[in-house]
Amino acid sequence: MRVLGIDPGSETLGWAIVEGNGLKYAAVDYGVVKSSARLAFSKRLANIYEGVSQVIDTFQPDSLSIEEAFYAVNVGVALKLGQVRGVVLLLAEQRGMKIAEYAPRLIKQTVVGYGNAEKHQVQQMVKVLLKLKTVPTPHDAADALAIAISHFHHAGSRERIERSAKQSR
């Protein structure tokens, strides 16, 4: 299975490709899609669409693992983040990818063992779990790796629950 992890952001969107089976996985590649804050928001969304499209075309992932929307003090930030997520979710649907969404606290709990972990703790654990030589940077890409790792830890449970639900119908 090849998973595209996405840490949504309108100026810096983190992406990661992680490949594996069950709890054995490895990083294939990771990076960011950058958009200038000076651009109109619609142009940033178009840039995100193009950047993530290129990642999908290059690596052909089976699944998208994306961070769920979270509560934000600034409503404007939350709305923009929702629009970024919408662009990525649309792309995944258009490409026929399976989609999984994970809460930020669950991602940190899965990777670090603590739901309120700091960015540097996530980066260090991603380095350890993926056996990387250096800490992945920027933190947006490290977060995308953590989101993809979370999918490997939770996808099996989700599939068993879905199978069980289908069988009971």
Which residue is catalytic, options 50, 57, 118, 140?
Answer: 140
The answer to whether residue 143 is catalytic is no
d(CA 145, CA 130) in angstroms, rounded, equals 9
* CA nearest neighbour of 41 among 89, 84, 85: 84
For residue 21, the tally of other CB atoms under 10 A from its CB is 9
Q: Half-sphere exposure of residue 1, counting CA atoms within 13 Å on the CB side?
A: 21
Catalytic residue among 11, 67, 93, 162: 67
The C-alpha atoms of residue 62 and residue 124 are separated, in whole angstroms, by: 27
Active site residue 62: no
The torsion angles phi and psi of 130, rounded to 5 degrees, stand at: -95, 5
Q: Which residue of the set 7, 11, 29, 143 is catalytic?
A: 7
Known active-site residue 29:
no
**H or E segment to which residue 47 belongs:** helix 41-59
The residues annotated with a catalytic role in the active site are 7, 67, 140
